Chains A and B, each alone.
Chain A
Amino acid sequence: MNQHGTGYRTARRADYGGAASIDRDYQSDQNDQSTAGYGAAGGTPVVSFVNVSKHYGSLKAVDGLSLDLRPGETVALLGPNGAGKSTSLDMLLALRKPTSGKIQMFGSDPYHAVKSGRVGAMLQSGGLMPEVTVRELVTLVTGLHPKPEPVDTTLKRAGIAQFADQRVDRLSGGQTQRVRFALAICGKSELIVLDEPTAAMDVETRRLFWNSMKEEVAEGRTLLFATHYLEEADQAADRILVINRGRLLADGTPAEIKARAGAKRLSFRLDQVNEQFLLGLPGLVNLEVRSDVVQIQSGDSDATLYAILDAGYRPREIEVSSLGLEQAFIAITAEDDRANGNNNGETN
């Protein structure tokens, strides 16, 4: 039995082993992910960015961004602070002009799309008129929409009916956010754009917010929201665009984004570590070795672990844990920052 087992394992190692095959696996993995997200196509784009850049002097806030949003999608724009999320949304909403490149919304330029009421937006930097009641404010903005919803419907949907007669300047942060949300949905807009919609909301309010948001999207609207709450992107979006330094780094479903970054963390202790061997493991995305402690981030933890065992190693204290989107996101942006640092090194 024992003999058999060993023989079997050896045979598998022979089948599986070899740097070439591992490389191929990793490569094909990469290819899958680079095309991810485009597979779900259908319909003409609601929004399209073609090589859009926005420079402030030498700062490239947005740097050659290209993307398409398709009708009915819920898309999260995910990135760290200063990644270019707000600038991108500002350009989409005709609040800023791109330095170069072209943005189209519903087949027209952003300005006319905004003025025709086809997009409802909640800006991070969007303020409210003080000294009026919530109802007065919502009524005013509703009256300015070409295709208005009834004011009471909006108040209810945004969950602000119970304080509709309070003055806008006397609301809490979370209440203010919901009023701003109301202004984004007070008309029959086909696209809703939300810039960090749940900032200043507590956990419960955030949950309520996404519940009402799901109702809005259920009507077939397209939703684009920027966030740095990763679990929010994970739970609410069917597609995530990761941006960093004004560039699109990843585009795919939450599962694909996690896979791309190496969705599992594998850690173990191993004496006499052969780093060359470890770097050749299948599915490997990132490797950290501290004396005898090895930490591997892997897109396919099973294959990675089998390959280690098949090579005859007997690691101890094996732990496999799931990486959240957060780690995935950190991994992707860190990878980008490293690449960027390297590029700078080469050009200098």
Chain B
Amino acid sequence: MAGILALTRVEFRRLLRNRRYLIFTVGFPVVLYLLVANRVSTTAYGVSFAAYYMVSMAMFGAFSGALTGNAQRISQEKKDGWIRQLRLTRLPANAYVVSKVIVSMATTVPAIAAVLLLGRFYGHVHLQAWQWLATAVTIWFGATIFAALAVAIGYRYQPDQVQPIALVVYFFFAILGGLWFPMTGFLQKVGELTPTYDAVKIGTDVIGNAAVSAGLAIGLLVWLGIFLALATVSVRATAETV
């Protein structure tokens, strides 16, 4: 356990040193929010557009932080042999993955904090303290499950393959999940199956004081299960090559 903490501490130091990821996780959603949020006067998901867009942009920044950067790094570190080197220490086999997931939980925080603050002071979204907290935690959880998908992709594919694969996954969950704009019709029906949709809908239901459907929470947990299973398969399948 002490070993995992030591590794995690160094991973955090790397994160603070290399802030390029902030451009994508914080920069993109903040700029989009500033451009779009106050120009649309309709409602979405039963709340004001500014409130919906706050939740969806926070989710967008956070999940891209957990997914793309991580998948790339894991794949590169596997290729470089850093994971092999760690296997020669007394760290347990899962330590590397555990510390990556812990760090992912942190990488999602700046995006969520930035966009929620923007929603409050630029989008004029007024909520009770518990609603802020519940929204933030839901987005945080919904985004963090993508860290497991990042492990699955990063372990299985070479760094040059990871880039396009992560992009496809990223667009798929961002667009179908209604993060950029709400889906309609058939696409909405499909999109409702995604964890990105689940997390955003829980957030907007909390904001709109609507009852949160259990199906949304179950949906998130099912996706967590799927991503964990994929990650486990990837890690096991490549056990001899890392």
Q: Using a CB–CB distance below 8 Å, which chain A residues touch chain B?
A: 93-97, 114-117, 119-121, 123, 125-132, 136-137, 140-141, 143-146, 180, 183
Q: Are A127 and B88 in contact (CB under 8 A)?
A: no
Q: Is B240 an interface residue (CB 8 A)?
A: yes
Give the chain B neighbours of A119 by CB distance below 8 A. Answer: 88
- Most chain-A CB neighbours within 10 Å: which of B83, B87, B240? B87
Q: Are B85 and A114 in contact (CB under 8 A)?
A: no
Q: Is B192 an interface residue (CB 8 A)?
A: no
Q: Is B120 an interface residue (CB 8 A)?
A: no
Q: Is B97 an interface residue (CB 8 A)?
A: no
| A-contacting residues, B6-50, CB 8 Å | 6-7, 10, 13-14, 17-18
* CB of A44 to closest CB in B, whole Å: 23
A146-B90 in contact given A127-B80, A127-B84 (Cβ < 8 Å): yes
Q: Is B81 an interface residue (CB 8 A)?
A: yes
A to B CB contacts below 8 Å, 18 in the list: A93-B87, A94-B87, A97-B240, A115-B90, A117-B90, A123-B88, A126-B82, A126-B85, A127-B77, A127-B84, A128-B80, A130-B14, A131-B18, A140-B7, A143-B6, A144-B89, A145-B89, A145-B90
Q: Are B90 and A95 in contact (CB under 8 A)?
A: no
* CB of A147 to closest CB in B, whole Å: 10
A129-B84 in contact given A97-B240, A115-B90, A141-B89 (Cβ < 8 Å): no
Interface residues on B, range: 20 to 34
Give the chain B neighbours of A126 by CB distance below 8 A. Answer: 81-82, 84-85, 88
Give the chain A neighbours of B240 by CB distance below 8 A. Answer: 95-97
Inter-chain CA distance A48–B223, complex, in Å, is 47
| A-contacting residues, B112-156, CB 8 Å | none
Inter-chain CA distance A130–B6, complex, in Å, is 16
- Most chain-A CB neighbours within 10 Å: which of B3, B79, B89? B89
Give the chain A neighbours of B85 by CB distance below 8 A. Answer: 123, 126-128, 141, 180, 183
Inter-chain CA distance A130–B78, complex, in Å, is 12
Q: Are A131 and B82 in contact (CB under 8 A)?
A: no
* CB of B19 to closest CB in A, whole Å: 11
Besides A95-B88, A143-B3, 18 other A-B contacts (C-beta < 8 A)? A115-B90, A116-B90, A126-B81, A127-B79, A127-B83, A127-B84, A128-B82, A128-B85, A129-B14, A130-B14, A131-B17, A132-B14, A136-B13, A140-B10, A141-B85, A143-B6, A144-B3, A146-B90
A144-B80 in contact given A96-B240, A123-B85, A131-B17 (Cβ < 8 Å): no
Inter-chain CA distance A119–B174, complex, in Å, is 47
* CB of A138 to closest CB in B, whole Å: 11
Q: Are B91 and A123 in contact (CB under 8 A)?
A: no
Give the chain B neighbours of A180 by CB distance below 8 A. Answer: 85
Inter-chain CA distance A137–B89, complex, in Å, is 13
Q: Are B10 and A136 in contact (CB under 8 A)?
A: yes
Which 6 pairs, one residue from A and one from B, show the smallest C-beta to C-beta distance?
A127-B80, A127-B81, A144-B89, A127-B82, A126-B85, A131-B14
* CB of A22 to closest CB in B, whole Å: 51
Which residue of chain B lies nearest to A144 when distances are taken between CB atoms in the complex? B89
Q: Are B14 and A95 in contact (CB under 8 A)?
A: no
Q: Are B6 and A144 in contact (CB under 8 A)?
A: yes
Inter-chain CA distance A183–B79, complex, in Å, is 19
* CB of A211 to closest CB in B, whole Å: 24
Inter-chain CA distance A97–B239, complex, in Å, is 10
Give the chain A neighbours of B79 by CB distance below 8 A. Answer: 127
Q: Are B84 and A95 in contact (CB under 8 A)?
A: yes
Give the chain B neighbours of A120 by CB distance below 8 A. Answer: 88
Inter-chain CA distance A43–B88, complex, in Å, is 26
* CB of B118 to closest CB in A, whole Å: 29
Q: Are A95 and B87 in contact (CB under 8 A)?
A: yes
| A-contacting residues, B79-105, CB 8 Å | 79-85, 87-91
Inter-chain CA distance A119–B87, complex, in Å, is 12
Which residue of chain A lies nearest to B18 when distances are taken between CB atoms in the complex? A131
Give the chain B neighbours of A121 by CB distance below 8 A. Answer: 88
Can you list, as one digit per residue, whether each of B207-242 has a CB less than 8 Å from chain A (1) or not (0)? 000000000000000000000000000000000100
Inter-chain CA distance A163–B90, complex, in Å, is 27
Residue B82 contacts which of A94, A95, A114, A129 (CB distance < 8 angstroms)?
Answer: A129
Give the chain A neighbours of B83 by CB distance below 8 A. Answer: 127
Give the chain B neighbours of A131 by CB distance below 8 A. Answer: 14, 17-18
* CB of B17 to closest CB in A, whole Å: 6
Which residue of chain B lies nearest to A56 when distances are taken between CB atoms in the complex? B240
Inter-chain CA distance A180–B88, complex, in Å, is 12
- Most chain-A CB neighbours within 10 Å: which of B13, B81, B88? B88
